[in-house]
Amino acid sequence: MEFLWPFLLIILIGMIIVLLVQFILHFIDQRNVELKNKVYLYLPQGQAEILPWRETLWAPAHHGELVLEGDRLKIAQSSRGVLRFYDETTVRLDSLTDMSIDTIDADSSEDNIRLHLNSGRLWANVVPSDYVSTNFLIETDHLRITSSGGIFEISSINNESVRVIKDQVSVEVLDRSGEREVVLEQIKIGVGQEIDLTPDTLETMIARQPVNILAAVSDSWKLTDWYGWNIQEDLEPTIYVSTNTNTKPAQVSVSEETPAEVDVINSVPDLAPDLVPVVTIISPEENPYFLSSGEQAISIRGSTTPNTVKVTVTSYDTAGQIFNYVLQQYQAGEESWTYHAAISYGNLHEGRNLFSIVAENESGIKSKPVSMIVEVETKIEEIQSTTEGNNTETAAVLTKPMVLSLNNELLPENGVYETAAEGVTIMGSVSSVASKVFVNDYQLTKFTAGSGVWTYYLKSEFLNYEPGTNVYQVYAEDAKGNKSEILKFEVYRETP
């Protein structure tokens, strides 16, 4: 029997090693699950409240705070919040958004996230996993949105809407008026599409009458500050750093050179002078905003971060000339600003008016611009027709088109936009009487007559975007074939 002892010892040692490895792997797996089930809230702007699970009193939420399954969040007015999940999946919450975290359940084979948007709007960038299946689900009162990866926006304010920027989502329209939930319709929403569920549309669907709520994403939505901020964050995400999981706020850094550790302090810190300011528009809430008949003035109000020392508003006259105005009544450190525009001041004219607002800190660092469009009713000019019978006809002024943005950036004052991007999306405005828009004599087939907004895409495969200088000439035509003045600008594409 003695000759068996060495073999038994080897077997015993092998069993111990196997058990030890299994224990270590189990510990690592459990540790990964614990990390995956944690979500952090960051506040790049303003304040928020949190209602922890099973609690009845709301408490202030802090930057870098750990939020858990069952918690509910409210973002304050003129504020924004960011939820960062373990896999870099991000959900951004707009001002006055109320959202509940129903489920955070992640294991080694599947990730299940379930949120409920009670009101407001959110922007989700869901990162798909190469190793486990992802089931990211968000509900509103009458919609259930499911994604396994992609970028999309959900709004629940007056209507309930979903817009998709990347990949696709599945949406179920729900009737919850009875004892049992009923799925009225299932819709696949692809890139560049949206659904907008109004109360009237919901009633039509409940009555089992046919209705189509799927449409292309509106160009006016792409002009909003909310859209521009999220697109920029998806391209160049802000880096948030927190060193522990308590409820004390941590500093935020927007630099890629963020140190490994950040000190945690006991109160919300003042923004450092070198941090990028953030400016927003509070009112009017509608964008574009249409002045009522007879109105000749408007006040645009907004907020900015405390490290702001100067706020500049850029406006354009009917010829497209740029005017920069520094708000004289704004004092450094103030968190609110007001800009007055009026026809009598010369900074408001008939037709479409674009105002771009930028905040600047003491180091000269400027915020991302936010834009406001104000539509002023165009007066109809009576002209005497030379046709037989001397009939009097009317015609509206056909003004020169304008460029509102290029890849969500303003066209520089010199009319030359420089970029290394592989493609450029140009968004512009035009007189409401325009029935056609041409770029380099190419008619924009997707332009809608009377919409006042046009979009043009630059790509190499379209043969309209080459390395070096590209010159573009834009003009409009009305229904009678009258042509507007030509807008000329350049895009310089940098070579790699």
Flag whether pLDDT at 383 surpasses 50. no
pLDDT at residue 417 greater than cutoff 80: yes
DSSP letters, 256-284, are TT--S---B-SSPPPPPTTSPP-EEEEES
Domains within the chain, CATH numbers bracketed? 32-235 (2.60.120.1440), 279-376 (2.60.40.10), 398-493 (2.60.40.10)
Provide the pLDDT for residue 379. 57
Q: Give residue 390's pLDDT band: very low, low, confident or very high (50, 70, 90).
A: very low
Does the pLDDT at position 118 exceed 80? Answer: yes
Instruction: Label residue 309 by pLDDT band (50, 70, 90).
Output: very high
- Of 3-12, 188-197, 296-305, the poorest mean pLDDT is in 3-12
Give the C-alpha separation, 203 to 209, whole Å: 9
Whether residue 162 is predicted with pLDDT greater than 90 in this model: the reply is yes
Q: Answer yes or no: are the C-beta atoms of 118 and 98 closer than 8 Å.
A: yes
Q: How far apart, in Å, are the Cα atoms of 384 and each of 378, 387, 399, 431?
A: 19, 9, 20, 22
Tell me if 43 sits within 8 A of 81, measured CB to CB: yes
Distance CA 116, CA 474 (A): 45
SS3 250: strand
Confidence of residue 4 (pLDDT cuts 50, 70, 90): low
What residues contact residue 441 under an 8 Å CB cut-off, 6+ apart?
473
User: With 0-12 CB in 10 A as exposed, 13-18 as middle and 19+ as buried, what is 44?
Assistant: buried
CB 453 within 8 A of CB 430: yes
Asked if 312 contacts 325 with a C-beta cutoff of 8 angstroms, the reply is yes
Distances (CA, A) of 170 to 101, 208, 321, 420: 20, 20, 46, 35
CA Rg, the chain, in Å? 28
CB count, 10 Å around CB of 139? 20
Structure tokens at 323: 């005017």
Query: In 3D, which of 79, 59, 76 has the Cα closest to residue 246?
Result: 59
What is the CA angle 476-300-123, rounded to 5? 80
Residue-level pLDDT at 24:
60
Looking at every residue in the chain, the average pLDDT score rounds to: 80
pLDDT band (50, 70, 90) for residue 208:
confident
pLDDT digits (tens, 9 = 90+) for 29-63: 554 444 445 788 998 888 999 999 888 898 999 88
Output the pTM of the full model.
Answer: 0.48
d(CA 436, CA 139): 41
Residue 366's Cβ-count burial label (10 Å; 0-12, 13-18, 19+) is middle
The pLDDT, as a whole number, for residue 108 is 56
